[in-house]
């Protein structure tokens, strides 16, 4: 087993823990969060090799990265790993623009390093996980993703399984997703999406670097089976596009808890956050999840990609 260690120097407003708890991905494999050591690990593929990434932030201005792989670690793997982690943690995002425009209202978020959302090593993994959050409890989402990784994921360094490749998922019939993954109505969507990625009809890795408008990106995503507005808008958030709110029943319920009953909750939310323009989705998300970062939140069941 080879290991490479390096240190990144993010901004002074960086917080690994805050990014990890930005939403529920840390609770889904291959991600693993160790609360005692405050380390985040995940398995990924880099330059054609299976690797285990371990992240730890001993200070607000220092992020250590360890990369484990079988055999000798090539030097060029270091640059690829740094680039991947930078993307996963949103360190190359534009959140400073939001905080400059938002003023004192979100000073608390800037202070604790909030505003960046944890991403998976690939957009394919993000998309499959997002499909697994539709119209169900978080416990069911966790169950489906655990089974996907356990059944189809290759074993990588440290005995940790990787997220399944599009090919591994496409090779399985719809019946597999129904009986083994217990994905219900999502079964055909999961199989078809993987098959479209394999045959080149769909390339989700284009989505994070999309050169068109957010409207055009959403239009491309929602044409895929199973990807409605909720899934498309929340994927856009992961890719740093906050033009849309990505509302689901959890958002509506949490907003009502914070602000009291509304005649039309969705309408009230849209009206309140319109002032934030292209940042409306981030402003809403920070408000809804503020208590997650203040130590007062308990584990919640959600129909979206929310997990406190």
Whether residues 39 and 91 fall in one domain: yes
Using 50, 70 and 90 to split pLDDT, how confident is the model at 305? Answer: low
Identify the CATH number of the domain in which residue 6 sits.
3.30.310.20
Instruction: Confirm if 57 and 16 have CB atoms less than 8 A apart.
Output: yes
**Which stretches within 132-173 are classed as H helix?**
138-152, 166-170
Sheet containing strand 2-8, strands side by side: 2-8, 62-69, 49-59, 39-46, 32-34
Whether residues 145 and 179 fall in one domain: yes
Domain boundary among 209, 238, 267: 238
More confident residue, 61 or 229: 229
Note down the domain range covering 7: 2-112
Which phi and psi (to 5°) does residue 300 adopt?
Answer: -115, 150
117 is a domain residue: no
164 is a domain residue: yes
How is residue 277 written in tokens? 């323009």
118 is a domain residue: no
* pLDDT tens, position by position, 171-226: 999 999 999 999 999 999 999 999 999 999 999 999 999 999 999 999 999 999 99
Give DSSP secondary structure letters for 13-44. T--HHHHHTTSGGGGSTT-EEETTTTEEEEEE
Domain boundary among 238, 254, 275: 238
Kindly tell me the burial class for residue 144, based on how many C-beta atoms sit within 10 Å of its own C-beta (0-12, 13-18, 19 or more).
Answer: buried
Whether residues 232 and 287 fall in one domain: no
User: Rounded distance, CA 202 to CA 180, Å?
Assistant: 25
* pLDDT tens, position by position, 109-164: 999 999 999 999 999 999 999 999 999 999 999 999 999 999 999 999 999 999 99
Domain boundary among 195, 223, 238: 238
Report the domain count for the chain. 3
Average pLDDT over residues 257-271: 96
What's the pLDDT at 302? Answer: 39
What's the pLDDT at 140? Answer: 97
Residue 273's contacts (CB-CB under 8 Å, 6 or more residues apart) are 245, 280, 283, 284
Whether residues 16 and 35 fall in one domain: yes
Whether residues 227 and 131 fall in one domain: yes
Which phi and psi (to 5°) does residue 40 adopt?
Answer: -110, 130
How is residue 38 written in tokens? 């405050």
Please name which of 127, 135, 156 lies closest in space to residue 51, comparing C-alpha atoms: 156
């Amino acid at each position: 087993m080879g290991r490479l260690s390096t240190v990144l120097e993010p901004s002074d407003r960086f917080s690994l823990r805050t990014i990890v708890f930005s939403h529920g991905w840390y609770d889904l494999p291959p991600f693993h969060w160790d609360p005692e050591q405050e380390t985040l690990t995940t398995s990924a593929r880099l330059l054609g090799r299976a690797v285990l990434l371990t992240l730890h932030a001993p200070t607000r201005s220092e992020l250590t990265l360890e990369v484990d792989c079988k055999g000798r670690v090539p030097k060029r793997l270091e640059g690829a790993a740094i680039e991947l982690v930078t993307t996963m943690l949103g360190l190359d995002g534009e959140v400073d623009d939001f905080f400059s425009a938002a003023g004192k209202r979100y000073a608390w978020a800037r202070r604790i390093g909030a505003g960046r959302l944890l991403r998976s090593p690939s957009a394919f993994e993000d998309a499959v996980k997002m499909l697994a959050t539709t119209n169900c409890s978080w416990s069911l989402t966790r169950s489906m993703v655990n089974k996907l990784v356990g059944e189809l994921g290759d074993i990588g360094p440290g005995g940790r399984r990787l997220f399944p490749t599009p090919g591994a998922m496409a090779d399985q019939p719809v019946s597999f997703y129904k009986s083994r993954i217990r994905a219900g109505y999502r079964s055909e969507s999961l199989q078809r999406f993987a098959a479209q990625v394999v045959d080149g009809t769909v390339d989700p890795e284009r989505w994070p670097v999309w050169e068109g408008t957010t409207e055009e990106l959403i239009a491309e995503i929602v044409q895929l089976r199973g990807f409605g507005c909720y899934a498309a808008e929340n994927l856009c958030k992961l890719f740093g596009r906050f033009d849309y709110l990505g509302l689901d029943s959890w958002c509506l319920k949490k907003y009502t808890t914070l602000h009291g009953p509304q005649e039309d909750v969705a309408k009230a939310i849209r009206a309140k956050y319109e002032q934030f323009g292209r940042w409306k989705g981030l402003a809403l998300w920070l408000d809804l999840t503020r208590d997650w970062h203040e130590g007062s939140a308990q584990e919640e069941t959600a129909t979206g990609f929310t997990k406190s």
